Structure 1
Amino acid sequence: MPLPPPPPAPVAEVRQAGQSIGSTIRIGEISQKSAWLWITGKGGSSDQLWLPLDVLTGRLGFRRTTTAAGEQLEWFGRDRRLTDLETRTLKDEVAVDALPWMRAINVSVQRRETTLELSLPSARIVSIRQGRGSTAGRVVLDLSAPALVQRDQQGLVLGVTSNRSQNNRLRRLGLSPQARQSILRLTSQGGDLDFFTLKSPWRIVMDGTQRRSVSKTRARTSPFQAARFSPEIQNAIRQGLILDSRTVQVGVKPLRIYRAGWPLGNESLLLRPLAPIRAQTGLRFLNQLAQPAKALVAINGGFFNRVRQLPLGAVRLDGVWLSGPILNRGAVGWDGPGPLLFDRLRLDQELRVNGGRRWGLGFLNSGYVQRGLSRYTRAWGPTYRSLSGEEQAILVREGRVSDQFSQAELARGVPIPRGASLIVARARAPLPAKPGDEAEIRLKVSSPVGERRQVMAGGPLLLKEGRVVLRGRQEGFSPGFLGQAAPRTVVGQDTKHRWMLTLEGQSGGDPTLLETTLALQQLGLSDALNLDGGSSTTMLIANRTVMTGRGVPPRVQNGLGFIQP
């Protein structure tokens, strides 16, 4: 049985009263954008350090795992069930109190104006191990002590020391090590590295490595330029693909825009939603969605619940609703290579029982949990597990109610057969029918957008037919969200091209939704829809992440891509 760790040393801090809010996290010499909130304890209560969950999992090596007791968060041997962790909204992100985790391994935390500084004494690499079989792309570093790791767009930056023999070993395993004082930077030919941490012994586990096939190293270029000159992208450019990055001035703000355009009517590449097919639960790196679909260029898609990892908005793929629309939010729909259709979208579902009473079904395959009735089909996944405390359900098959399920059964999980619909009643809403009743389900969309075979929703709608149509309150967005400055992801079109775009601020800060709209007008777009932004903002070209909203590749629920048919 491993010995318990020594008691943690006090966390170094700059004493301030009340709350401190910042926008940058610094580890060693690397600084990256991230919101954080420090709350000074009063009356014997502990201090709190609130960090976005996406930053912890995507950048610092925290890992989300599923156990019999539910999802949990792990970091260097400490684990907590997600349902036991208090959460709060930090700008547009879900945050948790990370200070207990930092104290558990003696991380020094300091606040200097808007920058949060994290530090640990440098650890030493004790040994390097490679996985076998299905984990052959895994490399495990055994350490003398815990070490801070952060992800940037080039790879991983580890607070460890290594010797020449170990660096050579890493090169043979497909990693490019760059050692500098007490820092080791690692990049992989295999694309983005995924990683997590363990204890007893202290370990950093990295997945996504690939053995080197050549010994020469190319001169370093920007990720965007390196991806643009890959052979498959060059071939697509010859067929009409446009890839560029430019700066647009909106008021006093210079905005950096990365965009990918494809000619309307050209079927050499197709625009497609990128989404998990077998089950909608869970988040993935964008390349994990793009690679199976053979997407040359991809951006992140619509909104999702970051804690439950469920979709919050319309995703329709090849005529199948993987997730239904919510709150009459903006959406884009299309069939073939012609013009995209933009509008706000609502899906009305109705259950008619025994040819008489009609019941409204609020949402379809959605993580948007509200009181009343919701419907789930096999597109949600083979199994449904309850998303709230009080649920009961009926199963409709071949025009009749075949089964009824209790709260306990739903908590354990019930199968959804193909062709069936699970009608879930939440918050003591009555079930509309009982086993043996005849049941007919009807659907009606509020706009022709919902009739298209491919649909992606986000919101708010920014431009339509050349007009500014930014009406965020009508789409259920809060005033705080509407006024917030953040990196943005957008899908749009002009008279000649479909466009996928990401935007971020430079010296003047990130764009608001209105500033985003004005920038798109400068580019000549006639129609545009805002997608999920902030830390979710991502553009991928030729399986290379070329832009992210917070400087690290995030996990997302769905995306959009130009794919090869």
Structure 2
Amino acid sequence: MKLPWYPLSLFSISLTTTLCVYLAIGNPQPEEAVNLNLSATIAPVEASNSIQQGQAIILNGKTYKIPWTQWQQGDKTRIGISDIGAMNLLGLELLSTDDPSLQPVRWFGTNSNQPLPILARFIAPYRYLDITELIQLAGGQLQVNNNTLELNFPIAQINNIRQGNQTWGKRIVLEVDRPTVWQISQAKGHGVVMISGKASATKLSNYGASSSPKPLVNTDEDDLGSPVSQTPESSLFSLEDTGNLTKVHVDLPTAHGLNVFSLSNPNRIVIDVRADGMVPKEIVWTPGIIWRQQLVTINNGRKKTTFPVNWLEIDQRSPRISLKPITTNFNGQTGTAPLVTTAQKWRAAAAINGGFFNRNNQLPLGAIRQDNNWLSSPILGRGAIGWDDKGQVYLNRLALRETITTATGNNIPIAFLNSGYIKAGVSRYTSEWGQSYTPLSDNEIIIVVENNQVIYQQQARKAKSQSYPIPKNGYLLTIRKNAVASSLLSPGTNLTLQSNTIPTEFNQLSHILGAGPLLISNRRIIVNAVSEQFSKGFQKQKASRSAIGVTKRGTIMLVAVHTRVGGSGASLDEMAQIMQSLGATDALNLDGGSSTGLVLGGQLIDRSPVTAARVHNGIGVFVNP
């Protein structure tokens, strides 16, 4: 169905050109430059009902996976796009706000001193921006086809291009004849700004139109580049004509990124290439979730070092907010996926990547406890965080001690539970692992237990050669390296299982996630990777980092850090200092490198998706009705 345009209820708009813009579908679009001067007046929000939702938007013929919704407000039909999706798809700059129902933005005819306020509404797990008038403002048309929203904007003409040196890097300015939309994608050493506009053949020739642009892929485990900062080259960009889309390919020096925004009088798209391009912001996204990004400076020996930091502050004590570990596979522990995909599958409003895993067999390597069920046990006494739905949070190094006692009094220690970590000893697997278990090493002895009694025993041969069903009313044991005499567990043997955490404080917490090492305890930095059986190289490595922390107010921090300004990523000690600077009293390092990711509203907010690796698990943040 096509939606009719309605008189503006959210904004009063004055046009500073002599051209009259008709806000009705089918009216001709202006051929000369349009400059818009916006002054906003907020209309009262009426009771509204969502009448349709979808996950796909077609923008000028190209499909994007972005949530949208349509609702009735009075006698008018409104369209909303998820806020981070609108930022990534349309080029809106989201500005700081302490009102989750009102989102100020900067886009062409606005500036940071006079932002354009857009009404926001939260329908879990997304925060939608009412862009109905904004689409009209840009001369766009929209149409809803089943679960897909189609947006079509007039194609802008790129009238002029210039670049210049700045003290902080390079600036590229593209003058366009009308407001238009753009998207950004960047990886190590290369970025692309995709503008819905056309450049003349002369301009394409002058700026080296690229017929074979660099692919946007991240070939390294990490996305950091050389630790030595480089300066931008004198000519750092080229143009590529793809029909109604002009791609600006930018060569990025080490640890540099793209900061793209729009200006008016005349209409311009500005591309800044700089190492410190993060714009500070604080957005109260919904009650209980605050999104912050800022530059954090720490003392690193005799010099100060600055890191761009993205983080979420979560008030898990709010009755509307809950957290739990999330995994890729609902039916077992094998599998990886993009963090965005996993968050959407669980309908999490926000998420951060979690603990370590084996990329080859896609199995967990650390503690995951969800709703009091162990999906995977801790390993090597590494750091973990536990919490419950009442706001209790506890961080410490964690071990799980399980013992099986036979009817004759023999005590058999269990080394691991539902774990992909392979070591001599006895491991236990339950239905949380999946419907069956396939030996992870050669010559394992498989023992099936039902109703606390051994019913079956078999010597397996080659790893991965055969699967063994895991009983729902019991569990499966595997003996590796003949660590225990199999005769102690012969068919018919009755067993008693005891299970406790060390420290015991974790026993009472329904959710646990392990990673490590611990960064901060009781406001004191305590990084000791070797004591948690990480390598010395891991202790010194500089990489992208994820961490979770607790503030003195009892709120939880989900933090992502990539490169420092002009250089490499953060060491563990530096990450601890960053967490301390942000206000953490206790903090835990999570899996990092290309696994690092922070999701809000169905989109990554800390990095470009092309640089993010698949992960096994994470921590999801849920907003309850």
Please classify the TM superposition score into its range, dividing by the shorter chain length. 0.5 to 0.7
Residue in 1 that maps onto 2:508: 451
Q: Deviations over 1:277-324 (max 9, x none)?
A: 311011111122111221111110000111111100000011100000
Structure 1 residues 319 and 534, CA, compared in 2 at 3 Å: closer, same or farther? Answer: same
For the 8 Å contact 1:352–1:358, the answer to whether it is kept is yes
| Residue 460 (str. 1) matches residue 490 (str. 2) | no
For the 8 Å contact 2:187–2:611, the answer to whether it is kept is no
Report deviation, 1:550. Answer: 9.7
Please tell me the residue identity of whatever aligns with 2:556: R
Report deviation, 1:185. Answer: 8.2
In the TM superposition, 1:184-195 aligns within 5 A as none
Residue in 1 that maps onto 2:320: 268
**3-state DSSP class of the match of 1:521?**
helix
| Residue 478 (str. 1) matches residue 535 (str. 2) | yes
The one of 565, 568, 576 aligned to 1:509 = 568
Structure 1 residues 514 and 450, CA, compared in 2 at 3 Å: closer, same or farther? Answer: farther
Structure 1 residues 499 and 546, CA, compared in 2 at 3 Å: closer, same or farther? Answer: same
Structure 1 residues 452 and 272, CA, compared in 2 at 3 Å: closer, same or farther? Answer: same
Measured in 2, the distance between the counterparts of 1:425 and 1:454 equals 28
Measured in 2, the distance between the counterparts of 1:434 and 1:544 equals 52
Residue in 1 that maps onto 2:469: 415
Residue in 1 that maps onto 2:457: 404
Measured in 1, the distance between the counterparts of 2:608 and 2:417 equals 30
For the 8 Å contact 1:241–1:261, the answer to whether it is kept is yes
Please tell me the residue identity of whatever aligns with 1:479: K
For the 8 Å contact 2:186–2:610, the answer to whether it is kept is no
The one of 338, 346, 350 aligned to 2:399 = 346
Measured in 2, the distance between the counterparts of 1:480 and 1:184 equals 32
Residue in 2 that maps onto 1:360: 413
For the 8 Å contact 2:594–2:613, the answer to whether it is kept is yes
Report deviation, 1:520. Answer: 1.2
Report deviation, 1:411. Answer: 2.7
Measured in 1, the distance between the counterparts of 2:216 and 2:413 equals 54
For the 8 Å contact 1:345–1:450, the answer to whether it is kept is no
Q: Deviations over 1:500-540 (max 9, x none)?
A: 01112231321110111111111111010001011111111
Please tell me the residue identity of whatever aligns with 2:599: L
Please tell me the residue identity of whatever aligns with 1:475: E
Residue in 1 that maps onto 2:597: 538
Q: Deviations over 1:240-293 (max 9, x none)?
A: 321111111222422111100122521222111111331101111112211122
Report deviation, 1:405. Answer: 2.4
Measured in 1, the distance between the counterparts of 2:543 and 2:490 equals 48
Report deviation, 1:470. Answer: 1.6
Structure 1 residues 184 and 304, CA, compared in 2 at 3 Å: closer, same or farther? Answer: closer
For the 8 Å contact 1:395–1:421, the answer to whether it is kept is yes
Q: Deviations over 1:360-388 (max 9, x none)?
A: 11000001100111111000010100101
Report deviation, 1:180. Answer: 4.7
Report deviation, 1:343. Answer: 0.8
Residue in 2 that maps onto 1:317: 370
Measured in 1, the distance between the counterparts of 2:270 and 2:454 equals 61
For the 8 Å contact 2:185–2:608, the answer to whether it is kept is no
**3-state DSSP class of the match of 1:331?**
strand
Please tell me the residue identity of whatever aligns with 2:352: I
| Residue 371 (str. 1) matches residue 424 (str. 2) | yes
CA RMSD after TM alignment: 3.2
Considering fraction of residues, name the structure with more helix: 1
Report deviation, 1:475. Answer: 0.9
Residue in 1 that maps onto 2:19: none
| Residue 154 (str. 1) matches residue 185 (str. 2) | yes
The one of 176, 180, 183 aligned to 2:213 = 183
Q: Deviations over 1:402-459 (max 9, x none)?
A: 1112214973101102131111011233324011111111111102124310000010
In the TM superposition, 1:212-223 aligns within 5 A as none
**3-state DSSP class of the match of 2:512?**
strand
Q: Deviations over 1:166-222 (max 9, x none)?
A: x9xxxxxxxxxxx953339899xxxxxxxxxxxxxxxxxxxxxxxxxxxxxx97999
Measured in 1, the distance between the counterparts of 2:529 and 2:187 equals 38
Please tell me the residue identity of whatever aligns with 1:385: T
Structure 1 residues 454 and 490, CA, compared in 2 at 3 Å: closer, same or farther? Answer: same
Report deviation, 1:153. Answer: 7.3
Measured in 1, the distance between the counterparts of 2:521 and 2:552 equals 12
**Greater alpha carbon shift after TM alignment, 472-481 vs 409-418:** 409-418
For the 8 Å contact 2:187–2:610, the answer to whether it is kept is no
Measured in 1, the distance between the counterparts of 2:591 and 2:270 equals 28
Measured in 1, the distance between the counterparts of 2:560 and 2:357 equals 18
In the TM superposition, 1:110-189 aligns within 5 A as 154=185, 180-183=210-213
The one of 272, 282, 289 aligned to 1:241 = 289
Aligned length: 358
Report deviation, 1:564. Answer: 2.2
For the 8 Å contact 1:155–1:185, the answer to whether it is kept is no
Structure 1 residues 536 and 184, CA, compared in 2 at 3 Å: closer, same or farther? Answer: closer
Measured in 1, the distance between the counterparts of 2:215 and 2:538 equals 36
For the 8 Å contact 2:442–2:461, the answer to whether it is kept is no
Structure 1 residues 256 and 531, CA, compared in 2 at 3 Å: closer, same or farther? Answer: same
Q: TM-score, normalised by structure 1?
A: 0.59
Report deviation, 1:154. Answer: 2.8
| Residue 385 (str. 1) matches residue 438 (str. 2) | yes
Measured in 2, the distance between the counterparts of 1:556 and 1:532 equals 9
For the 8 Å contact 1:331–1:449, the answer to whether it is kept is no
Measured in 1, the distance between the counterparts of 2:609 and 2:517 equals 21
Residue in 1 that maps onto 2:132: none
Report deviation, 1:238. Answer: 4.2
Q: Deviations over 1:330-354 (max 9, x none)?
A: 1111111414211111001111112
The one of 495, 510, 531 aligned to 1:439 = 495
Measured in 1, the distance between the counterparts of 2:414 and 2:270 equals 52
Please tell me the residue identity of whatever aligns with 1:426: R
In the TM superposition, 1:44-63 aligns within 5 A as none
**3-state DSSP class of the match of 2:584?**
coil
**3-state DSSP class of the match of 2:447?**
strand
Residue in 1 that maps onto 2:545: 488
Q: TM-score, normalised by structure 2?
A: 0.53
Residue in 1 that maps onto 2:102: none
Q: Is there any run of 5+ residues in structure 1 with no aligned partner, and where?
A: 1-151, 158-166, 168-178, 188-217
Residue in 1 that maps onto 2:311: 259
Residue in 1 that maps onto 2:620: 561
Runs of 4+ residues deviating >3 angstroms: 183-187, 218-222, 548-551
For the 8 Å contact 1:536–1:548, the answer to whether it is kept is no
Measured in 1, the distance between the counterparts of 2:461 and 2:332 equals 22
For the 8 Å contact 1:153–1:553, the answer to whether it is kept is no
Report deviation, 1:237. Answer: 2.0
Please tell me the residue identity of whatever aligns with 1:154: S
The higher radius of gyration belongs to 2
**3-state DSSP class of the match of 2:579?**
helix
Structure 1 residues 355 and 277, CA, compared in 2 at 3 Å: closer, same or farther? Answer: farther
**3-state DSSP class of the match of 2:349?**
strand
For the 8 Å contact 1:483–1:513, the answer to whether it is kept is yes
